[in-house]
Amino acid sequence: YQKAIEFHQQSLAIKREIGDRWGEAASYNNLGSVYYSLGEYQKAIEFSQQSLAILREIGDRWCEAASYNNLGSVYYSLGEYEKAIEFHQQSLAITREIGDRWGEAASYNNLGIVYKSLGEYEKAIEFHQQSLAIKREIGDRGGEAYSYGNLGSVYYSLGEYQKAIEFHQQSLAIKREIGDRGGEANAWFNLGLTYYKLKRISEAKEAYLQSRELYQALGLAGYVQKCDDKIRQLETRKYPLIVAFFLGVVMFPLVLIGGIIVALWRLLKRWLRKA
């Protein structure tokens, strides 16, 4: 990241020197993106706002909308959801005005993500469905899969696990079709989480194993570890079930026999008293 910052700063200096305002805006935007990746959100905001100011000045509406979306994403990462909504709505308004269908879908998607984090699930579903409709219309298969996955996550949060499974399976099918192995791994992982909630343990384990295999092939050790943790969680869940089974199969007959012995002893005592 440090080298990227140096190169973008050098590029910025040249663009300012030659009076390339659009190029200057692009450099500010790129610096904002690097600082966003570093988690330095205040710096990301500063550079993104500098980029936005130039884009508004030169009248580049398409890039202006993209800048609003970027700022919305930064504020979302800061947990400032209301500000994030404001910026995504500004982006949405411009994309609709200029007929940028892809940008419009991205704005709906981002609004859906923010509303999910606010716990406003019905609004989140509405925005994700609007995003999905556009992605299907323009033939964006990767985006379509992403929207299905987002809808699956919202229904998971609502506790509607069967619906969540349906959407994650639709996402998985497209990701496999287009060769998005990272996306496929993510879809399998989400299916594992959802199967677990429904106590479908064997299906959950199979989903985690599929996810693990893909993440391992991609060299993503951190995600492999997450899968291993979930598989271990499934294994530990088995022990209480085994104990419950033991109590049901072995202990119940013993309790029953004990009850019969007590009843017989009481009958014997009564008979002896009468005798």
Q: What is the pLDDT of residue 237?
A: 73
Residue 39, helix vs strand vs coil: coil
Q: What is the tens place of the pLDDT at every residue in 118-144?
A: 999 999 999 999 999 999 999 999 999
Q: What is the tens place of the pLDDT at every residue in 232-261?
A: 999 887 655 544 444 454 445 544 555 655
DSSP state, residue 250 = I
Q: What is the tens place of the pLDDT at every residue in 132-175?
A: 999 999 999 999 999 999 999 999 999 999 999 999 999 999 99
What's the whole-number mean pLDDT along residues 30-46? Answer: 96
Give the chain's mean pLDDT: 91
DSSP state, residue 128 = H
Cβ–Cβ < 8 Å for 124, 87: no
For the chain, which domains are there?
2-274 (1.25.40.10)
Q: At what angle do helices 61-77 and 81-98 cross, to 10 degrees?
A: 160
CA distance 6 to 125: 41
Residue burial 23-41, b: 16+ Cβ < 10 Å; e: rest: bbbbbbbbbbbbbbeeeeb
Rg of the chain over Cα atoms, rounded to whole angstroms, equals: 28
pLDDT > 50? residue 110: yes
